[in-house]
Amino acid sequence: MPSRSTTYGTGLRGLSIATLVVIAAALTMVFYYAPLDADQGFIQKIFYIHVPLAIVSLLGFVFGGLMAVGYLLTGDRRWDMRSYVAIHLSLIFGIGALVTGSIWAKASWGHWWVWSEPTLVSFLIVVLLFCTYQPLRFSIEDPERQSRYASVFAIVAGAFVPLNFIAVRLAQQYVHPRVLTLTGGNLPGSMMLTFLVSLIGIAMLFATLWKYEMASKNARSQVRRLRRTLLGDDALAPAGRSAAPS
């Protein structure tokens, strides 16, 4: 690994404060500015959390795949670490989207899940696909093989995300509300503005958490390099077989 290091904590405090401000503004708009939906009433407001979580999760998976490309091109473990953290966080956001979506479905349709709806099923497939990413990493002890295999998986799975999106858009039957489309959607202005602020807030939350975890792993890596320098390589040999990048 190159000797130079990246300081991921730079600007983290400002980003954290900005994230809190935007999320607070989004929640205020959700409850006090956006009107109630004529058909679903108050429960429709979960849309402003559910859909941004799903979008950011999918984009995070693609981002993880792009970072994995950087590792295969350069062999720099920092790219692998960025990919690992992005996919790890995207899984958390994806599970959050599934949970909020199920709550919305139960309130709107009377069922926790509708298997005939391609939007729901396709998103579940993507999340389950990436759920196998960490078991793949943890099953490989050699660090170099671990990073290489995980990167290949991240790239292939990340490429599946837009292909899956296109396939769903071409599907003929929908149960899931089509409030967002490529031509602008069916949302009135106040709802669309609230949705955009919520989406920005969730995206900023993802970026903040990503930087926090990267800063933590980078600091741990620097401490390990310092200990290796002071104590010698043999003192840290067992730690070098860790499954997750650090």
Answer for the pair 205, 53: CB distance below 8 angstroms, yes or no: no
**Domain spans of the chain, in order of start:** 22-232
Output the pLDDT for position 40. Answer: 76
pTM score, whole prediction: 0.82
Instruction: Label residue 231 by pLDDT band (50, 70, 90).
Output: confident
Number of C-beta neighbours around residue 79 at 10 A:
21
Output the pLDDT for position 232. Answer: 65
At 238, give phi and psi (nearest 5°): -65, -35
Mean pLDDT score, 172-177? 51
Please report how the helices 143-169 and 118-131 are oriented relative to each other, as an axis angle in degrees rounded to 10: 180
Q: What pLDDT, in 10s, does the model give residues 199-226?
A: 999 999 999 999 988 888 877 777 777 7
CA 54/CA 186 separation, integer angstroms: 19
Sort 3 into a burial class: Cβ within 10 Å, 0-12 / 13-18 / 19+: exposed
